[in-house]
Structure formats: structure tokens, C-alpha cells
Amino acid sequence: MSDVVSTGRDGAVLTVTIAREARRNALNEAVASGICEALDRAEADDAIRAVVLTGAGDKAFCAGGDLQPSADGAPFSIDAADPRHYVANLFRRMNACRLPLIARVNGHALAGGFGLVCGCDLVVARDDALLGVTEVKVGLFPMMILPFLLRNTPNRVLMEMCLTGEPLTARDALAHDIVNYAVPAGELDAKLDWLVERVVSKTPTGIRLGKQALVKIREMSFDAALEYAPFMLANMARTEDAREGFAAFAEKRSPNWTGR
């Protein structure tokens, strides 16, 4: 891994940590590449069933793009000859990930950092962590993260956040369903472990195929989605996990998932 992103494995869970504590875990090209690499590794390992994304220390999950003029991998420039952008590549990779992505919000998540939170499937946050988009305070607008913000934030809340640049605490964000859980700092890891266990104990095959289908269905019309869904359901029903799930239900026992 890179020196700005570290990983650690605990059983079926891979934890990916943005390791730029001195820069409030700011997002740059190396961080984006490190997260993408970690997701590639996780999906290539059949034993990994969930990925946790967090930041180093207890101050910031990710403070967004590095605003220092001399910052390495600044997020605000695009090569006219190659308009691909590393933030867009990172968000595409997160969106395509077939493993559950769980944000452990250990501190403030602002601007692009809030985009990372919204790009995860589930969120457990410190209740005093600040979440928001501060771009209007520096003459910008949260362009790169809007696709994820629109997916996860109610319109009135989104507009107020974008137009004022004022953040919410995770405690307040919970009321708008922006996070799943907001707990005191001392309870963060216990709540995370509780949620992760509920996820990894379920069918890995069903989750992988389900997340893959969800990405496509989000982009479909209603009628197209209803045509696609039965096809995917029939395919899922033929997997080993589905057969095991039905057998375990009939036999009143816990399923033994194979991930196939």
C-alpha cells in the first residue's frame, strides 16, 4: 500500500485508513489511488466480506481536498489533454464495489471527505463529528461529490449545506438519515463492530450480486428495472448461497455461506 493509506485485516473485514493525520487526512491523488488499490485487493480476496473506511487519529475522517497551494496532488486542476480526474475515478470505484463499504467517521468529514462518507453504504459516526460541504467559503461549489450527495441527502438539507457552507453534526445528520448511527466517541468502535457483524454474517454472494444490480437499477427507468430485476433474482436463486439459505431456513439452523 501507499504511505498515505494503510490497511488492516480482522477476519472477513478489511479496514482502510487514510493516514495523513498531520494534514487532517486530506484527500489527494495518492489517497484516492490507495483507496482504489485497497478495494481492488479486497474484491480479489474471497474471504473479505466488508470494507471499513476511516481516517487516522481522532480529529478528522477526511477534511476534503488539500487546499494548501503547495499540496501534492491538488484536486482542483484538470489536464485539458486528459480530463479524467482522480476523485471521479475514486467515486466510480466506490460505486462499483460489490463489497459493503462502511464508513467509520472518527472525526470531521468535510467537502470531499463528506463525499467519501456519502459514497459508503453504511455510516457509523462520532456524534460530535462535523459533516458538510464548505466549498462556498473558498469560492467553489461541491461539484465532484454532488452525485453522492444527491443520493444520500434530502434536497432542502443539501441546498442549505451547499449554499451556506455550514456543516451539521453527525447527531443532527442522523435525523436526516445521512448517517446510520451517531454515537459518543467512546462507543464508536463497539457500534461499528456490532454493525459489521450483522453484515458479514449474511450471504456474501447475495450481497455482491445485489450491490451490482443496485448500481444498474439506479440508472434505469422504472419499467426497465422491473424487467431486469426478475432476471437477476433468477440468477441469484441458482447460487450455492441461495440454496444453502433456503435449506438452513427449512432446517431451522444457521446457514453456512460459501460465497458461491
Q: Which residues are catalytic, by number?
A: 135
Q: Where are the alpha helices (DSSP H) in the chain?
A: 29-44, 86-96, 112-119, 146-152, 155-164, 170-175, 188-200, 204-218, 222-237, 240-251
Among residues 240, 213, 235, which one has the least CA distance to residue 224? 213
Pairing of strands 50-55, 101-105: parallel
Coil, helix or strand for 63? coil
Residue 9 sits at φ, ψ, to 5 deg, of -110, 135
User: Which residue do the cell numbers 467515486 mark?
Assistant: 91
CA distance linking residue 56 with residue 150, whole number of Å: 27
Among residues 56, 12, 54, 5, which one has the least CA distance to residue 196? 12
CA distance linking residue 75 with residue 114, whole number of Å: 15
Tell me the CA end-to-end span of the chain in Å, nearest whole number: 28
Coil, helix or strand for 117? helix
